[in-house]
Amino acid sequence: MASKGICDRVAIVGMGCTKFGEHWNRSASDLLVDAVQEAYGSAGIEPDNVDAYWLGTTGSGISGLTLSEPLKIQYKPVTRLENMCATGSEAIRNAAYAVASGAYDLVMAVGVEKLKDSGFSGLTGSAPPGDGTESGMTAPANFSLLAPAYAEKYGVDLETMRDVLTKIAYKNHYNGARNEKAQFQREVPVEKINASPKVAGMLGIMDCSGVSDGSAAAVICRAEDAHKYNDNPIFIKALSFVAGPSEGAKRQDYDFTTFPEVVESARDAYVQAGIEDPREQISMAEVHDCFTPTELVLMEDLGFSPRGQAWKDTMDGRFDLDGDQPVNPDGGLKSFGHPIGASGLRMMYEMWLQLRGEAGERQIADPKVGLTHNLGGAPGRCVSFVSVVGL
Amino acid sequence: MSGIVRYGSYVPFNRIQRSAIGAGRGERAAASYDEDSASMAVEASREALRELPEGAAVDTVAFASTSAPYSEKLNAATLQAATNLPKSVTALDLGGSTRSGLSALLAGIDMASAGRTVLVAASDVVVGAPSGPRESGGGDAAAAFVLGGNGTEPIARLIGRASCTEEVLDVWKSPGMPFAKQWEERFGADVYTPLLVETFGRALADAGVSASDLSRVVLDGTNARVFRGFPRPAGIAPEQILDGLAGTVGRAGSAHAGLVLASALDGASAGDRIAVAVVADGVDVAVFEVTDAIDAGRPKHSVASWVESKRNDLAYTTYLKWREVLPFEPPRRPDPDRPAAPPMQRAERWKFGFLGSRCNRCGNTNLPPQRVCVVCQAVDDSTVEPYADGECRISTYTLDRLAYSLQPPVIGAVVDFDKGGRMLCQLTDVDPDNVGIGDELEMTFRRLYTAGGVHNYFWKARPKR
């Protein structure tokens, strides 16, 4: 019982990504036009060449019309999908499987989110009519549960834990400062991260990802066609997606130091891609650093660090841009920003740049295999996506 | 003879110092931002219903309040649902005067004499105009009584009673008025004192006892001046009059007489005779005789224990914000959604009754109840598991400074029950600086918020009181 996978059967031949940030003067439609046009250009194709589209957005529109109307797509299939914060990655996965099936030859995965029009802090969602018994906790509160639980389980004192979280935020801002498309393009001093106003539990505002607007897009085809469109395509090695049964919120044995959904999606992806030792074989990763402790726990769930060791690897610089296994080289959700539906595609965009040697100042030396990880929900109750891509 | 079978009381956790209002000494009880008269009535009723004697099956529910959360929609139905009483109960709301609490008690005893078993809960959140005497002298609390007739063994029998009704302009509040008003007290005292003396005398005659036979006298009313001229003509000695909790709770509207009666019962011995008089729009007097069953019939919490369990530094501005007297800057978050009627109906046993499920196959408990067991995935094979009285503790927690609340930060906790089962829920009546993993908790019925005029009731956890 596992996904059979489509290792090396599907390629990405073009990508586009807007700058993420507070686009007061750009609508979701504007951002879609910008990202899709850039992707068309990147693959050297015309709109007519694309057989079908998958559009991921959690709340910036409903139905395929959200994409077909601004781009005037001429009577083609456009699927709008949503899978919480992993929405963008789901667009890639569904589009890739569609070309792998042979139903289409050339497709596009697009993601968009326009968060800054709401006027509210943090994320807002519209739940279906309910009975009013949900806990009402916000995302930072849910993820803040990870930090003390991890510290207690592995005997890390809370002062050290604070240093670890700060290091993650510092690293991701350092990387984002080298990225002209990131929401926040400045390094942030450690003292400022430590002193940022508290949002939930141990987490300050500088432990949270950026709330932003943005869009990204990928052009996808079967591997045998890849060179028709691009001399330097990247190839999909694995796509894995898991929705958990929401046990952690209901069972007393869940301890908030791991995401079982991530462990399972990583295991599945590594089988598909033939990865036996992710710590050694994965050159770089874009992971779902929605809050700093999430990145810490992910390093262990993805197999980059042994259990209880990720905090040391983090402090030792293993995941720095110039470390042995760079994580979030583009700045991550923390610094690049997190327009929900676009984030999974933004992660893939960095793989596209890095694998093709186009990452400029933050180029990692000779990366072979990259991983993207995208998460939606909360500890104990989430969905998780893992992709492995390479040359 | 009919009487009180069980009783319970509830005083909320927060107190505001009268000095903080600039109005005299002592403190008053203040319902928290997540409480109202219905939720407090549930708390008092849980106390009264916890260990009912054999033969006492409640078939009637009455809710008395001058601050009912809904002016149309049966508040007694919330009480029925949250205490898991059968749907076959007769349920009614009473109000209109702070005398309604004792009136409801007397009516309940009449119903008990007709063969019913009656839960009467009186509860009030007393809001007065800022800096007025009702604000500083009022208090928030609830009291509940289970009343039974033949076939039940009361802890206190009603042995005498009398009533008097007077059309008089003393305290009044019309629809649309934010606060009640009161005519000058000297007038009320002149009208009421003779009525009280006369009615009290009739009640004693009905009971066949004299004033000196009374162990305790509970005096309550809208106008304290009424009682100045009462003891001498009534033949009551000052030491017979029970402390009215004015310095610790304040006058809790329609709940007050019941609350003070509960404190009398807390300290009563078999054979004690207790008279209760309420003066508001007339007079009700009830005379009880305590029975041998009293020691087995006391609730888990005495009035004194509620009074002692408190946080007493509530800021006046916070109090005014909670009571929606003072407008305030809302958090930069969306207003909470109005809960929807059909989902609430479907989830009633969870939302109000706090009933989970226990898997018949593997024994795992599921909160909220699940059709498919989270452990063994058995489908539609479970039994109801009650959780309202479940012992529980904090597995982990966080302070959520972003979530919408009238009292940020929201304290979100992962709560594990000793009998199995876990839920994420909010903590209440707790100091954010004094929460720890492993802390023992108990569940409490609260109003999470109000949206679109709909009160969203659900359960929270609080440190043990």
Answer yes or no: is pLDDT of B331 > 80. Answer: no
CA–CA separation, B79 and B20 (whole Å): 34
Question: Average pLDDT of chain B?
Answer: 96
Both tokens assigned to B191: 């009208």
The whole-number average pLDDT for the span A370-377 is 97
CA–CA separation, A116 and A113 (whole Å): 9
Element (H, E) at B217: strand B216-221
Task: Mark out the alpha helices in B248-302 (DSSP H runs).
Answer: 256-266
Residue B375: Cβ within 10 Å count? 18
The whole-number average pLDDT for the span B275-291 is 98
Both tokens assigned to A3: 């996904």
What is the SS3 assignment for B218?
A: strand
Answer yes or no: is pLDDT of B389 > 70. Answer: yes
Domains A10-118+213-233 and A139-207+236-390 share a fold: yes
Under an 8 A CB cutoff, do A145 and B340 touch? no
**Residues of B in Cβ contact (< 8 Å) with A140:** 400, 402
Both tokens assigned to A156: 């890390």
Answer yes or no: is pLDDT of A1 > 70. Answer: no
Give me the percent of chain B exceeding a pLDDT of 70: 100
Residues B111-143 pLDDT 10s: 999 999 999 999 999 999 999 999 999 999 999
Task: Calculate the alpha carbon distances from B384 to A273, B50, B366, B381, B418 in Å.
Answer: 47, 18, 10, 10, 17
Structure confidence at residue B122 (pLDDT): 98
Answer yes or no: is pLDDT of B94 > 90. Answer: yes
- In this structure, are residues B32 and B161 in contact, taking their beta carbons and an 8 Å threshold? no
How far apart are the CA of A294 and the nearest CA of chain B, in angstroms?
Answer: 15
Cite the active site residues of A: 85, 338
Answer yes or no: is pLDDT of B84 > 70. Answer: yes
Q: What is the ipTM of this complex?
A: 0.92
Residues 6+ positions from A223 with CB-CB distance below 8 Å: A8, A9, A10, A11, A233, A235
Domain spanning A10-118+213-233, CATH architecture: 3-Layer(aba) Sandwich (3.40)
CA–CA separation, B365 and A252 (whole Å): 10
Task: Calculate the alpha carbon distances from A91 to A80, A218, B327, B328 in Å.
Answer: 8, 9, 45, 43
What homologous superfamily does CATH list for B3-322?
Thiolase/Chalcone synthase (3.40.47.10)
Both tokens assigned to B258: 């019941």
Answer yes or no: is pLDDT of A83 > 70. Answer: yes
- In this structure, are residues A140 and A291 in contact, taking their beta carbons and an 8 Å threshold? yes
Facing residue for A141 by CB, picked from B332, B340, B403: B403
Answer yes or no: is pLDDT of B407 > 90. Answer: no
Structure confidence at residue A62 (pLDDT): 95
Under an 8 A CB cutoff, do A252 and B448 touch? no
Block residue for tokens 């995941």: A319
Facing residue for A148 by CB, picked from B337, B370, B396: B396
What single-letter amino acid sits at A14?
Answer: G
Question: Average pLDDT of chain A?
Answer: 96
Block residue for tokens 């409490």: B444
Q: Which residue has the higher pLDDT, B437 or A345?
A: A345
**Residues of A in Cβ contact (< 8 Å) with B420:** 252
What homologous superfamily does CATH list for A139-207+236-390?
Thiolase/Chalcone synthase (3.40.47.10)
The whole-number average pLDDT for the span B394-423 is 92
Element (H, E) at B76: helix B75-82
Under an 8 A CB cutoff, do A200 and B401 touch? yes
How far apart are the CA of B340 and the nearest CA of chain A, in angstroms?
Answer: 6
A200 touches chain B (CB under 8 A): yes
Element (H, E) at A271: helix A260-273
CA–CA separation, A240 and A301 (whole Å): 14
Answer yes or no: is pLDDT of A239 > 90. Answer: yes
DSSP B434: G
- In this structure, are residues A65 and A118 in contact, taking their beta carbons and an 8 Å threshold? no
A246 touches chain B (CB under 8 A): yes
The whole-number average pLDDT for the span B232-252 is 96
A359 touches chain B (CB under 8 A): no
Answer yes or no: is pLDDT of A2 > 70. Answer: no
A118 touches chain B (CB under 8 A): yes
The whole-number average pLDDT for the span A290-316 is 98
Answer yes or no: is pLDDT of A280 > 90. Answer: yes
Under an 8 A CB cutoff, do B403 and A252 touch? no
The whole-number average pLDDT for the span B330-346 is 89
- Strand ranges, E, within B11-134: 14-17, 27-30, 60-64, 90-94, 118-124
A117 touches chain B (CB under 8 A): no
Residues 6+ positions from A359 with CB-CB distance below 8 Å: A329, A330, A350, A353
Cis omega before residue B409 (within 30°)?
Answer: yes
Extents of the domains making up chain A: 10-118+213-233, 139-207+236-390
Structure confidence at residue B205 (pLDDT): 98
Answer yes or no: is pLDDT of B330 > 90. Answer: no
- Beta-bridge partners for B181: B172
Under an 8 A CB cutoff, do B374 and A250 touch? yes
Facing residue for B412 by CB, picked from A127, A131, A135: A135
Task: Calculate the alpha carbon distances from A341 to B77, B192, B270, B357 in Å.
Answer: 44, 71, 71, 37
Answer yes or no: is pLDDT of B398 > 60. Answer: yes
User: Band of the pLDDT at B418, cuts 50, 70, 90?
Assistant: very high
Structure confidence at residue A367 (pLDDT): 97
CA–CA separation, A375 and A384 (whole Å): 5
CA–CA separation, B21 and B133 (whole Å): 10
Residues B40-81 pLDDT 10s: 999 999 999 999 988 789 999 999 999 999 999 999 999 999
